[in-house]
Chains A and B, each alone.
Chain A
Amino acid sequence: MGTSMISAAIMLSEGMVGVEAEVAQLRRGDLDALGALLARYQNRLYRYLLRLVREPATAEDLFQQTWLRVAEKIGKYDTRRSFDAWLFTVARNLAFDHLRRIAPESLDEPVGGVDSTTARIDTMRSKEPPAMETLLARERTERLAIAMDGMALIYREVLALRFEEEMKLEEIAMVQATPLSTVKTRLRRGLEVLRGDLQARYPGEVWQ
Chain B
Amino acid sequence: MSEHDEVRELLTMAAAGALSESEELRVNRHARECAACTAEIAEWQALAAGLRRLPTPQPSARLIELTRNSVARQLTERAERRWDQGVMISVLVFGWVLAAAGWMVLRFLSGNYLVWLSPEFARPWLDVSLYSGLIWLTGGLAAVMLGMKRRGRQGRTI
Contacts from A to B (Cβ < 8 Å): 29, 31, 34-35, 38, 42-44, 46-47, 50, 56, 60, 63-64, 67-68, 70-72, 123-128, 140-141, 144-145, 148, 159, 162-164, 166, 169, 184, 187-188, 191-192, 194-195, 198, 206-208
A171 to B64, CA, bound (A): 26
Which residues of B pack against A, CB within 8 Å? 12-13, 15-16, 18, 42-44, 46-48, 50-60, 63-64, 66-68, 70-72, 74-75, 78-79
B44 to chain A, nearest CB (A): 7
> How far apart sit A206 and B47, CA to CA, in the bound complex (Å)?
10
Q: Check if A71 sits within 8 Å of B74, measured CB to CB.
A: yes
Cα A63 to Cα B64 in complex, Å, equals 9
Return the contact of B50 from the options A63, A128, A141, A187 (Cβ within 8 A): A141
Of B46, B54, B68, B79, which contacts A35 at CB under 8 A? B68
Q: Collect the chain B residues with CB atoms within 8 Å of residue A35's CB.
A: 68
Query: Residues of B contacting A70 with CB < 8 Å?
Result: 71
On whether the beta carbons of A169 and B42 are closer than 8 Å, the reply is no
12 example contacts (A-B, Cβ-Cβ < 8 A) are as follows A29-B75, A35-B68, A46-B57, A46-B59, A67-B71, A71-B74, A123-B57, A163-B52, A187-B12, A187-B18, A188-B16, A208-B43
Which of chain B's residues has its CB closest to A195's CB? B47
Give the residue name and chain of the A residue nearest to B42 (CB): A208
List residues of chain A with CB within 8 A of the CB of B74.
68, 71-72
A148 touches B54 (CB 8 A): yes
Across the interface, which residues of B come within 8 angstroms of A68, CB to CB?
70-71, 74
Measured in the bound complex, the distance between the Cα atoms of B64 and A192 in whole Å is 36
CB-nearest residue of chain A to B72: A31
How far is B12's CA from A194's CA once the two chains are assembled, in angstroms?
11
Chain A: CB-nearest residue to B39? A208
In Å, the complex CA distance between A72 and B63 comes to: 19
Distance (whole angstroms) from the CB of A187 to the closest CB of chain B: 5
A145: which B residues are within 8 A, CB to CB?
A: 54-55
Per the bound structure, the CA–CA distance linking A188 and B13 in Å amounts to: 6
Q: Which residues of B contact A208 (CB under 8 A)?
A: 42-43, 46
Q: With A31-B75, A60-B63, A64-B70 given, name 20 new contacts (CB 8 A).
A: A34-B75, A38-B64, A38-B67, A42-B59, A56-B57, A64-B66, A64-B67, A71-B74, A127-B55, A145-B54, A145-B55, A159-B51, A163-B48, A164-B52, A169-B18, A187-B13, A187-B18, A188-B13, A191-B15, A191-B47
Chain B residues in 8 Å Cβ range of A56: 57
Please report the C-alpha to C-alpha distance between residue A126 and residue B48 in the assembled complex, in whole angstroms.
18
Q: Which residues of A contact B70 (CB under 8 A)?
A: 64, 67-68
- Bound together, the chains give a CA A43 to CA B55 distance in angstroms of 11
Q: Cβ of B68 and Cβ of A38 under 8 Å apart? A: yes
Interchain CA distance A140-B122 in the complex, whole Å: 94
Contacts of A169 in B (CB 8 A): 18
Bound CA–CA A49/B52 (angstroms): 17
Contacting residues, chain B, for A128 (C-beta < 8 A): 55
